[in-house]
Amino acid sequence: MFESLQEKLEFALKKFRGQTTLTEENIEEALKEIKNALLDADVNIHVTKKFVEDVRVKAIGSEVKGKLLPEQVVVKIVYDELVELMGGKRSELMFSPSPPTIILVAGLQGSGKTTFCAKLAKSLKKKGRQPVLVAADVYRPAAIEQLKQLGNDIKVPVFTVEGSKNPIEIALSALAHSKKFGRDTIIVDTAGRLTVDEEMMLEVENLSKILKPTETLFVCDAMIGQDAVVTAKAFHERLELTGIVLTKLDGDTRGGAALSVLSVIGKPIKFIGTGEKSDALEPFHPERIASRILGMGDILTLVEKAEAQFDQKEAEILEEKIRKNQFTFDDFLDQLKQIKKMGSLKDLLGLIPGMDKQLRNTNIDDKAFSKVEAMILSMTKEERNNPKLINGGRRIRIAKGSGSKVQDVNKLLAQFEEMNKMMKNFTQGKKSRLFKGMGIPGKR
């Protein structure tokens, strides 16, 4: 995510390396590179010009005090301006004071609109709400079936009117149904087209007038850059959008849409899609995204992802096992499964400050997890509980059973022993540092 933009901004800010003061000359030299970096990232030209000018004004007026370096001063200015450009702070989803809350979801075909509806429903369900998905896309082949399947996967009901080709009839029936059965959030998946056309606009406009939604979200594919912003603007002129959802941001190395949409449309980004899985939806935090763009990582998002997967009671039991030197390969396997649920390994490591630079252009294969799992599952219960039992003959059997080499088994056993020592060290003292990062208190 933002890899190309990140690399170019990093190059621009290197102009201050070795400098002892900020001068108009070195500021102008860096700003030229920053401008090129933003334009290459497909950021709107008017947005780029304003951004560069705002950085210029603040940089020229800044003093380098104490132990600060010119590079650090400018990075802070660029960071602040990036945060401001993307909205300053998180824009929360609005809920109606008198249920149900109606969320109307619009977008072009292929933007990930239907998938987003399901991801949002799952996210809201986790927070205690009672969502219902409404299949109001009556044109795309299999659109209703897709939503039904997604709803079934996440255990959220999907409302349809069999045989109806009238989205307004479907939506009004869903509203009555939700009030009757106590559903407090209605997520309406509307029809998409390959391009903006009058028929689609009129239909979704009429839906909006009748439903009077609390939120009207426009879903757009981040990978199409400025086209996404232009399309969002066309919808906003007819619909009065309340927010934008950027999908496929994990595949967007440029970032032009994310950096342009608020300035051009005047509406905030509320969510970003970062993968295909039903959990691959993040609230949009401008300060965290700015941190990622500048290669500073995003520890808060990493912690939230961990907290979403790790149960506090289980974590305390695990910590107790580590303290007593009872951490087994079964426990290790459980932790691997939890980590896999958090997303791509490369993406997770990229949230750690400094790691993104080391990982750039590096291919990290998530299949490595499967290889480790296969070796552990090829062990007997006794071997998983007591790895010291695994002698030469057993290592050969485990290697054969998992399709691995004996060297791989040797490496796994050595790493497991080393990891056990490290984790035991982490749990020493009054409070566990191992779980502190996840907001989970250690035992006293």
The tens-digit pLDDT sequence of the chain (444 residues) is 677 788 888 888 888 887 888 888 888 988 999 999 999 888 889 999 999 999 999 988 787 777 778 888 888 899 999 999 999 999 999 999 999 999 999 998 888 999 999 999 999 999 999 999 999 988 877 889 999 999 999 999 999 988 888 999 999 999 999 989 989 999 999 988 777 788 888 889 999 999 999 999 999 988 887 888 888 888 898 888 999 999 988 766 677 888 888 888 999 999 998 878 888 898 999 998 888 888 776 666 666 666 666 666 776 776 777 777 777 888 888 877 777 777 666 666 666 555 555 555 555 566 777 888 899 999 999 999 999 999 999 999 999 999 999 999 998 898 888 777 766 665 554 344 333 433 333 333
Residue entry with tokens 């079934």: 152
Cα–Cα distance measured from residue 208 to residue 202, given in angstroms and rounded to the nearest whole number = 10
**CA distance readout (Å), 373 to 56, 173, 202, 333, 410:** 53, 48, 53, 7, 15
pLDDT in tens, 420-433: 776 666 555 434 43
CB 323 within 8 Å of CB 384: no
Domains of the chain, residue spans: 3-85, 101-284, 302-436
**For 115, phi and psi rounded to 5 degrees?**
-65, -40
**CA distance readout (Å), 307 to 115, 249, 438:** 24, 22, 6
Q: What share of the chain is helix, strand, coil (3-state, %, to 5)?
A: 60, 10, 35
Residue entry with tokens 């032009």: 256
Beta bridge partners of 283: 271
The pLDDT of residue 430 is 39
**CA distance readout (Å), 111 to 21, 162, 187, 192, 248:** 47, 25, 17, 9, 8
Superfamily of domain 302-436: Signal recognition particle, SRP54 subunit, M-domain (1.10.260.30)
Count Cβ neighbours within 10 Å for each residue of 196-226 and write b for 16 or more, e otherwise: eeeebbebbeebbeebebbbbbbbbbbbbbb
CB 220 within 8 Å of CB 245: yes
Structural fold of domain 3-85: Four Helix Bundle (Hemerythrin (Met), subunit A) (1.20.120)
For the CA atoms of 284, 285, 286, 291, what is the dihedral angle to 10 degrees?
Answer: -120
Q: Which two tokens stand for residue 91?
A: 């824009």
266, containing H or E segment: none
Cα–Cα distance measured from residue 267 to residue 425, given in angstroms and rounded to the nearest whole number = 48
CB 86 within 8 Å of CB 289: yes
Cα–Cα distance measured from residue 161 to residue 374, given in angstroms and rounded to the nearest whole number = 46
DSSP character string of 97-138: SSSPEEEEEEE-TTSSHHHHHHHHHHHHHHTT--EEEEE---
Cα–Cα distance measured from residue 136 to residue 48, given in angstroms and rounded to the nearest whole number = 38
Strand order across the 243-247 sheet: 158-159, 131-135, 185-189, 101-107, 215-221, 243-247, 269-273, 281-283
| Residue 107 Ramachandran class (φ > 0 left, ψ -120 to 50 alpha, else beta) | left
The pLDDT of residue 351 is 63
Nearest to 107 by CA among 198, 207, 216: 216
312, containing H or E segment: helix 312-323
Superfamily of domain 101-284: P-loop containing nucleotide triphosphate hydrolases (3.40.50.300)
CB 294 within 8 Å of CB 79: yes
Q: Which two tokens stand for residue 344?
A: 């791509």
Contacts of 408 by beta carbon, 8 Å cutoff, 6+ apart:
371, 375, 399
Contacts of 349 by beta carbon, 8 Å cutoff, 6+ apart:
355, 356, 359, 364
Contacts of 38 by beta carbon, 8 Å cutoff, 6+ apart:
5, 47, 48, 51, 52, 259
CB 404 within 8 Å of CB 375: yes
